[in-house]
Structure 1
């Protein structure tokens, strides 16, 4: 059957032709025994040839699709390998030699090198995601957004630039942010320490004052979440306000101390009475420590004011009596 041509090798073709030949001989014998006419015989042979061609065409089409798919897989693998080399900046890595053999052999040759690069990319992606997440977290803390961690967007890694140079840039940025964070934390601690000392001197409740800046600042764990410019500005304003109040009270106490001294001297007040307000009269000295706990409490000022007022009234009463004796 010369019409049945095949691309298979000679041995396979011979086996096929032998099998078909036996079957054709058997068919011829059956036809002879039946007495089948030539027209019917030719029709059957034509049908057989058509069916055989259809089977071959399906096999050839399938083989063509497999070949095209393998060509595409080889091209995609080579393109992916090149892209990974560029994105990882690993151009010094040896490329697998392009083979001229079968497509499956070409694909098998590039597959191990491609898998190794894919593993390296996955590890590099993990490094980028870790450092970028830390940058995002600290940036949010510095910006005062750490209370809303759930609203922070997911980290997006640029897969087109996974070079070590880019990773080092992110790591340097992270170091800078860590230094900025530590500096801000130190400033917050110093502000709180200053507020506590000033509050103690002024006889105020430091926790209430700090809570007005931000409730969590009374808890050490809250410091790491409140270091924004807004918080630092409010802490600075609070310290300035307390220092201004301290200066005002010092001036009041010194004026009251001077008034007391004058009144005591004028009225020859006994030492035992003066001793009760020695802490007030002593405030007139510039070397006096005015930072001791409660030394500038409002209660002390009120007591001193009340004493000055009492002495003023006593002085007025004595002067009035003297005037009466005179006349």
Structure 2
């Protein structure tokens, strides 16, 4: 029942005051009938005022009762029920108190209606994102909330507000759970796409991956968290997992090929057959998780690239050293050709090449020294030997330096021997005079090459050439035989083309 301010006990009705005053004035002014005739118009006016006042009280108390019922959540209708009006107090003061109370209730109703509308809007936003039946959801809270005809006013009761709050909380939790599930599925999609190098045009449900970094409050696209979207994504992940299993070997060996290519590019030896056999065993056993295996291989590739980068400067110097050594060998052959100065075809080119080769050969000692310093610094930093085709590069440099020193010594002895022979011949000629001797015709070369052509390179002191069965056996042979470092394979070279260092 409505709570209204109690009537004041000290209030005096204005009609009573008016009647008392009127009776006092009529006393002693004619007969009673005349007095009554004089009073009737006043009474009629008072009765009309009372009816109007009663109507104001009725309307005010009816509105108060209706709003109180709405707030209380009562289903009772007050349209035809008459509120109880205390006719003993129909003063304007009492009416003002009732109207003031009605104003407070109307303000509260307005605030409650705003809360209800705001809650309904929030329910609608959450519903469309998740493709949930909005009308069913609000109808479960209160039937008046889903009445589109607006015949029935929206419920503003405490119970309705509480149930709306609970519904919004439940929908937010559901939205959070669905978003987290789709984000997890989105991560799996990207992982599988990258794992299998899937083309962009074959990547289905890519709109799901856009939710990965989204916060729950920023997700508002229509139906993006619908149940069917989650189910479709789950089906796609299952399909890709099945496809991944069939492509497992292909993916693994693609990584292995990349790894081997990196090693080959920097002249590092790798046992490809053994590595591939291990990978096949892991895959066929089913004990290896493909993602972990590929992640491990990616780590190896990253480390191989880092190691290759650290070797690049040294390898560039090795190539220059090898080229200079090849030019030195060519120069040796060229200088042994007696016809090198004849006016044959290509002679001028060989003369130019020989000039460049002499300048380059003079730099070999400094090249080897610089390269040795680089290799030592590299090994000191990494605590491992610098391998080049399975053998330590430092050993090859040391062996090359030793063999080159031996060859220089041989050249010195050869020049000394030639000088002594010429000196002896001159002394003999001075003692006995000149003797006729059969000499070789001019223009004939002692080497196999004639016509002033480019000398054919033969094996000499070049790094990484074919080595004999053992270094000891090779050193036991004639010093004239040139020795190359062990455990390396000679690279084919084109002696007819001059290269810059």
TM-score with structure 1 length normalisation? Answer: 0.65
Matching residue of 1:255:
184
CA contact (8 A) 2:65 2:78 kept: no
CA RMSD of aligned residues (A): 3.0
**Unpaired runs of at least 5, structure 2:** 1-10, 253-276, 282-501
1:95 aligns with 2:95: no
Cα deviation code 1:63-85 (max 9, x no counterpart): xxxxxxxxxxxxxxxxxxxxxx9
SS of 1:283's partner is coil
Matching residue of 2:280:
326
Matching residue of 1:204:
132
Distance between the aligned counterparts of 2:151 and 2:107, measured in 1? 19
Matching residue of 1:237:
166
Cα deviation code 1:166-215 (max 9, x no counterpart): 11111111112222222222222222222122111101221121222223
Matching residue of 1:129:
58
Equivalent residue runs for 1:274-285 within 5 Å: 274=203, 276-285=204-213
CA contact (8 A) 1:89 1:163 kept: no
Aligned length: 241
Distance between the aligned counterparts of 1:192 and 1:268, measured in 2? 46
CA contact (8 A) 1:88 1:164 kept: no
Cα deviation code 1:273-296 (max 9, x no counterpart): 22x221111111237952111111
Equivalent residue runs for 1:1-327 within 5 Å: 86-88=12-14, 91=17, 95-96=21-22, 97-100=25-28, 102-108=31-37, 110-145=39-74, 147-149=75-77, 153-220=81-148, 221=150, 224-274=153-203, 276-286=204-214, 289-319=218-248, 326-327=280-281
Which structure is higher in helix share? Answer: 1
Q: CA deviation at 1:310?
A: 2.2
Distance between the aligned counterparts of 1:91 and 1:259, measured in 2? 90
**Unpaired runs of at least 5, structure 1:** 1-84
Compare relative contact order (CA 8 Å, sep 6+) and give the higher one, 1 or 2: 1
* Structure with the greater alpha carbon radius of gyration: 2
TM-score with structure 2 length normalisation? Answer: 0.44
Distance between the aligned counterparts of 1:236 and 1:157, measured in 2? 38
